[in-house]
Amino acid sequence: GYDAGPWVPARGGLAALRRAAADCRGCPLYRDTTGTVFGEGETSARVMLVGEEPGDQEDRRGQPFVGPAGRVLMRAVDEAGLDPAQAYVTNAVKHFKFSTGERGKRRIHKPPTLREAGACRPWLDAELRLVDPEVIVALGATAGKSLLGSSFRVTRERGTPLDGPHGARVVATIHPSAVLRADDADREAAYAGLVSDLRTAATLLT
């Protein structure tokens, strides 16, 4: 089955992981992308933000959360009293999954399957082992399921600190792209909810 495990080096730091991840063939998603989008940040980071998968701009630039959802996220992180520069930022799945529209120009984001997220989990585990964050923020359902299991539901579990992998606490919240997708009437409340959950994560830092 799909599994990134064989590509994950047994030793070395984040730089070694990043280099190895560039060649990952653990699932078929690498085929149509520009490249692997690995996590970014310091091993000293106390907070890890975990998204779903890179988007179009992230795939082009090779960095997580540098597109529209990233702008929403970083504004919310800052407003919640967390230092965006002190957070390690990554995704549950490290390649962009998309379909191409009729004329083959626009790349339309597709959510990863549980299988693809499971295949990519060894990379997230390796990041967790090296960064060893105190608090993990799961952004949306894919990150939540990857970190907490397939029965995870955002609506039920968001905003409540939970025990997560590697001894970390996990706070789940909505994905920042849900703020962008919300109707005009709902957008402000969705954003406020994101900030509120991130504040909860900030209070867990002792």
Question: For residues 90 and 64, is the Cβ–Cβ distance under 8 A?
Answer: yes
Of the candidate residues 26, 64, 144, 164, the single one contacting ligand URA (CB under 6 A): 64
CB closer to ligand URA out of 58 and 164: 58
**What is the C-alpha separation between 62 and 74, in angstroms, rounded?**
17
37-56 positions binding ligand URA, by CB under 6 A? 51-55
**What is the C-alpha separation between 12 and 8, in angstroms, rounded?**
10
Contacts of 181 (CB under 8 A, 6+ apart): none
CB closer to ligand URA out of 66 and 126: 66
Number of residues that bind ligand URA (CB under 6 A): 13
CB closer to ligand URA out of 69 and 154: 69
**What is the C-alpha separation between 30 and 2, in angstroms, rounded?**
12
Answer yes or no whether residue 112 interacts with ligand URA by CB under 6 A: no
Residue with smallest beta-carbon separation from ligand URA: 51
Burial class from Cβ neighbours inside 10 Å (0-12, 13-18, 19+) for residue 183 reads: exposed
CB closer to ligand URA out of 55 and 102: 55
Contacts with ligand URA, residue ranges (CB under 6 A): 51-55, 58, 64-65, 67, 69-70, 91, 177
